[in-house]
Amino acid sequence: MKLEQNTKILIVGLGLIGGSYARGFSKRGYRVSAIDPDRSALEFALGEGFIEKGSVLPDPALLREADLVIFALYPHLIVPWVKENQAAFAPGTVLSDVTGVKACVVYDLQACLRADLEFIAAHPMAGREVSGVRNADDAIFENANFIVVPTDKNTFRAIQICRSVGETLGFARISSLPPRAHDEMIGFVSQLTHCIAICLMNCSTSEHLVDYTGDSFRDLTRIARINETMWSELFLLNKEALLQQMDSFMEEFAVLRELLANSDREGLKEKMRLSTARRALFDRPAEGGNQE
């Protein structure tokens, strides 16, 4: 279900994701405004038609007219922002976010929220290796997952509005997970993979790799280009879950190393058969690329 066409949307934080939301919504005829301390980001978004109004400060007039507010801020900034500014929202305003970790934000935020407002968390699993509103592009949502992250406090209405954000912006799959299960999953699927890419990129000092890298190495290191401020924060906010995933990966890696050290051909093949069968489960038909 699409978001109601007359919904007035306010984006707080006009970076890559906030900008891509603004672009995606305005393209589909929604009225979008934005708050960001960076005047040039607002001017860019106004010039491109992503937003119709912008303010460098949390202008109470902008806040009051919003039906739906999306926080696209660094996680640690959201709760303080809401505490300071929530008085200006109209009753019934729905708040949501785009944060990559949830348990550390959602409960605190719901606990401090005015009783006539509702916060429903969401995680658009999309991004780019570059940042900022100038790189905003809602095409990044096309093949991506959108996860609604409700708690026991959320109403059916807000959950549906949150789903419709994902549907309106054209996400490929929309699913739902409670905060802790979300963080556990993301520790594995996203954060562990970034840890691996970083280490793979850092563990050899050869400057001449570029002459020999094939698609495998490219694929495994693409996400080694990383916004260190955001990702160090995400890692630390999900520390326990991520440590557990790193340990389980290291354990598996040590087993494979021992099979090789012992020249255990059958053991190696068994591991490869398992990984092949599992990976086949989520192959996309068009998926190609080289294996060298």
Q: Among residues 111 and 272, whose Cβ is nearest to a copy of itself?
A: 272
Pick the binder of a copy of itself from 1, 156, 251, 285 (CB under 8 A). 251
Neighbours of 28 (CB within 10 A): 15
Kindly give, in sequence order, each residue whose CB lies less than 8 Å from that of residue 235, ignoring residues fewer than 6 positions away: 191, 195, 242
- Please name the residue ranges forming H helices in the chain: 16-27, 39-48, 60-65, 75-85, 103-112, 156-168, 179-186, 193-202, 215-221, 228-237, 239-261, 265-280
Shortest distance, CB of residue 201 to a copy of itself, whole angstroms?
4
Residues 38-77 binding a copy of itself (CB under 8 A) are none
Residues 165-224 binding a copy of itself (CB under 8 A) are 173, 175, 177, 185-186, 188-190, 192-204, 206, 209-224
Q: Report CA torsion sign: 235, 112, 164, 31.
A: negative
Q: Among residues 157 and 239, whose Cβ is nearest to a copy of itself?
A: 239
d(CA 98, CA 193): 20
Q: What angle do CA 248, 250, 254 make, to 5 degrees?
A: 120
Q: Is residue 160 within the footprint of a copy of itself (CB under 8 A)?
A: no
C-beta separation of 221 from 197 below 8 A: yes
| Binding window for a copy of itself (CB under 8 A); candidates: 22-30, 72-80, 160-168, 245-253 | 245-253
Q: Among residues 112 and 236, whose Cβ is nearest to a copy of itself?
A: 236
CA nearest 177: which of 148, 205, 204? 148
Pick the binder of a copy of itself from 1, 47, 57, 290 (CB under 8 A). 290
Q: Is residue 260 within the footprint of a copy of itself (CB under 8 A)?
A: yes
Residues 75-94 binding a copy of itself (CB under 8 A) are none
C-beta separation of 106 from 96 below 8 A: no
C-beta separation of 243 from 251 below 8 A: no
Shortest distance, CB of residue 1 to a copy of itself, whole angstroms?
20
Buried b (16+ CB within 10 A) or exposed e, 235-268: bebbeebbeebbeeeeeeeeeeeebeeeeeeeee
Shortest distance, CB of residue 63 to a copy of itself, whole angstroms?
29
Shortest distance, CB of residue 223 to a copy of itself, whole angstroms?
5
- In angstroms, how far is the first alpha carbon of the chain from the final one? 44
Q: Among residues 66 and 98, whose Cβ is nearest to a copy of itself?
A: 98
Shortest distance, CB of residue 185 to a copy of itself, whole angstroms?
5
Q: Among residues 156 and 282, whose Cβ is nearest to a copy of itself?
A: 282
Shortest distance, CB of residue 92 to a copy of itself, whole angstroms?
31
Total binding residues for a copy of itself by CB under 8 A?
A: 100
Shortest distance, CB of residue 52 to a copy of itself, whole angstroms?
28
Q: Return the structure tokens found at 150.
A: 């409700």
Shortest distance, CB of residue 50 to a copy of itself, whole angstroms?
20
Q: What would the x/- binding string for a copy of itself be over residues 103 to 142, using CB under 8 A?
A: ---------------------xxxxxx----------x--
